Amino acid sequence: MKSIKPLKITETSLRDGHQSLIATRLKTEEILPILEKMDEVGYHAMEVWGGATFDACLRFLNEDPWERLRKIRSKVKNTKLQMLLRGQNLLGYKHYPDDIVEKFIQKAIYNGIDIVRIFDALNDTRNLETSIKAIKKEGAHCQCAISYTTSKVHTTSYYLEKVKELENLGADSICIKDMSGILTPYRAFELIKKIKQITKLPIELHNHGTSGIASMSYMKAIEAGVDIIDTAISPFATGTSQPPTESLAITYQNTNRDPKLNLDALHEVAAYFKPIKEKYISNGTLKHKVLEIEPKTLSYQVPGGMLSNLLSQLEAQNAAHKFEEVLAEVPKVREDLGYPPLVTPMSQMVGTQAVFNVLIGERYKMVPKEIKDYVRGLYGRPPAPIKEEIKKKIIGDEEVIDVRPADLLEDGFEKYKSEIEGLYQSEEDILSYALFPQVAKKFLQDREPEVYYIELSLE
């Protein structure tokens, strides 16, 4: 009989928690004072970097994301630090050359990351190969995530095949990434149970509370033997974020899955973040809508962030009354495009196409460049073939590539380096520019130059 292991907890408030609720606006100065207390909790890991944090630091907070990571690492001595990386997309919105991917991962690990969670929006494992090799080369833990969605092609067999593919590529653990909060409890039990039967790799479940079922799905997954779950400290939990850490920890206290977290430390962490949350409510950054439960998510599979983005697009066109019509169009576009999971960048692309289809009144009369590139194969292989009539409507008779998209890209590090000669102080600066050229260049230009003080002795 297998021994039952304690449940492990990954704390997400410093990345996905505040990304989901306050548009990734937590400042480094708000994070640093509580880190040593968080380090006492006994988490398996703390997710602190990656996702939208890199972009938000440069674009909105006037902070160096690399310096944020170094400062966090200096305070956290006992707990593993984790980041989220979009495979060949890194932290941007397009595919980057292999040399940029390799260098970025090397620097992320050098600056303090222990666990790199990587995923591809299409679950095209070819787009993860370079990242996996680079993470393994640097000696960090490579967690491969599978973007969870439902469709006629996303069967249990589909997910089991992806698990074995990733295991064969070198994954150290597997994450089921339910970005929309649509993994129902009994489906979670069935899926985790079957995955545990085919692999000895640790299995983690990542969920969002958007549809109202996340905690129930976690409980059934725990029954099925999931090893790790993602939670957020209560002030930055629920709504479109993850279920609250304290509630899950207390639920399993004194059971055979007890995560044995330091509850006193957890309560101190929650007390610290409560007034910070209130501040973001007062200044309008935390909007009431992201705390609401939206069961329609289970039908439309639209993540919480995508819901608010669609509404914003329609309001800008004085067409908010067409919101329900656009929501109904999203799954139709998704089917037309081969059932891509609705995760960055596919969620933004599918949503924008749905808005165009509804507002113009003719489907695919106007098509964004990103959708055309996707249909051309430049993002990878769709989960299901795109219908020929849809393909013809979008790109006509243009050729579709079937190679790994990054195979078409030339090395870029030296090119980016030459473009900001005189502005960079480190290779990290060059990487920031490679990912976000305009934003990073402005940040580097505005950054105060290093000042060297020379003592003069006057005789």
Predicted pLDDT of residue 453:
39
Sign of CA dihedral 356, 360, 361, 365: negative
pLDDT digits (tens, 9 = 90+) for 170-182: 999 999 999 989 9
Question: Are 240 and 336 part of one and the same domain?
Answer: no
Residue partners of 304: CB distance under 8 A and separation at least 6 = 20, 181, 208, 210, 239, 240, 290, 294, 297
pLDDT digits (tens, 9 = 90+) for 186-226: 999 999 999 999 999 999 999 999 999 999 999 999 999 99
Question: Are 13 and 146 part of one and the same domain?
Answer: yes
pLDDT digits (tens, 9 = 90+) for 333-372: 999 999 999 888 898 899 999 999 999 999 999 999 999 9
- CA separation for the pair 339, 333 (Å, rounded): 8
The DSSP letter of residue 61 is I
pLDDT at 455 over 70: no
Last residue of a domain, one of 371, 387, 406: 406
Number of C-alpha atoms within 13 angstroms, CB side, residue 64? 18
**Looking at residue 329, which CATH number applies to its domain?**
1.10.472.90
Q: Give me the amino acid identity at 113.
A: I
Domain assignment of residue 323, yes or no: yes
Last residue of a domain, one of 283, 312, 346: 283
Range of the domain at 348: 302-406
Reference 41, options 11, 71, 74, 75; nearest CA is 11
Backbone phi, then psi, for 79, in 5-degree steps? -105, 140
Question: Are 94 and 13 part of one and the same domain?
Answer: yes
Question: Are 277 and 329 part of one and the same domain?
Answer: no
Question: Are 277 and 308 part of one and the same domain?
Answer: no
Domain assignment of residue 253, yes or no: yes
Last residue of a domain, one of 374, 406, 438: 406
Contact, 68 vs 35, CB < 8 A?
Answer: no
**Mean pLDDT, residues 303-322 taken together:** 79
Predicted pLDDT of residue 458:
40
Question: Are 239 and 379 part of one and the same domain?
Answer: no
Domain assignment of residue 312, yes or no: yes
Domain assignment of residue 33, yes or no: yes
- 284, with CB counted inside 10 A (0-12, 13-18, 19+), is exposed
Question: Are 167 and 196 part of one and the same domain?
Answer: yes
For the chain, the domain total comes to 2
Question: Are 218 and 308 part of one and the same domain?
Answer: no
Predicted pLDDT of residue 451:
42
Record the tokens describing residue 201, joined without a space: 């790799």
Question: Are 33 and 158 part of one and the same domain?
Answer: yes
Give residue 2's pLDDT band: very low, low, confident or very high (50, 70, 90).
low
**Looking at residue 83, which CATH number applies to its domain?**
3.20.20.70
Question: Are 67 and 110 part of one and the same domain?
Answer: yes
Domain assignment of residue 219, yes or no: yes
Domain assignment of residue 439, yes or no: no
Question: Are 67 and 119 part of one and the same domain?
Answer: yes
Across the chain, mean pLDDT equals 93
Work out whether strand 115-118 and strand 141-147 pair parallel, antiparallel, or are unpaired. Answer: parallel
Element (H, E) at 98: helix 98-110
Question: Are 122 and 17 part of one and the same domain?
Answer: yes
Domain assignment of residue 171, yes or no: yes
Domain assignment of residue 428, yes or no: no
Contact, 379 vs 390, CB < 8 A?
Answer: no
